[in-house]
Structure 1
Amino acid sequence: MDVISRTFHPAVTDAGVAIPSRHLPIVERCVDADDDAVLITRCTRPEAPLAGDYLFLLTRRRLVVIRETPVLHRLRLHLNVNLRHLSNVSWRPDLSRPALELAATAVDGVRERFRMKFSDTESVWRFESVLRDVFLRTA
């Protein structure tokens, strides 16, 4: 069974987000067959709100972020990094909206920030728990 059938589709269903199938070829190139997807959601970048939507995919070993341009809806790989190559990873839940902001410094020194919005605070805490589990385990 491939990574898409085994982990990507269940993670999408669990997250309750609609992910078009055109994202799948990028995901297949970036994620190893034995690496489980643990979080998938849509997100934005706070410093570039008009840059388009992003697909945030976290596995046990990688962070993959795919950008969809706003006008032509083209897909571009924004970030594909092994979790060990990220430093200063932090996240902050915002229960008043409900949202969660994650920041990390990539190996090239660029500070990446992503903001994920949720329908309820329960989802924020569930995602925060998974982030804690994945990033504290790799530390």
Structure 2
Amino acid sequence: MNKRPWGFVVGGLLVALLLAGVVSNYASAHPDGLDSSLLKGCTVDAEGEITGGSCPAQRERHHELGDSPLADYGVRGLDNDFLSTGLSGVLGVLLTFGVGAGAFWLLRRRGSAGPDGPGEGTGDRAGTERAASAR
């Protein structure tokens, strides 16, 4: 299969960016399953502070990466919550895509050299034609 699915990759990236930049604002305001299960047994006020009861969340401590630039689903330094959450989602998607693309590029590049040297076994048309004319 010589044809690369660039349209599919770009379309998937655009959908992921849209979901991360817009939809994440509506999902991240609510605690996830782990947070809500840790709060079982405690009384929590409107700001999310524990006011009574007994639960595992009372033993929570500050995480060493809690002051990182993208901590708590936001970008440190941005006061607009909608923009901060959306931008952190977009940056996360781009970072993940970049790492994944780099890994695939390295794996593809590493596997492209066959036993007969570069160009053989890469699937390119010129290499196939050279191999056929050598017979």
Q: TM-score, normalised by structure 2?
A: 0.21
Larger fraction in helix: 2
- Rg larger in structure: 2
Q: TM-score, normalised by structure 1?
A: 0.21
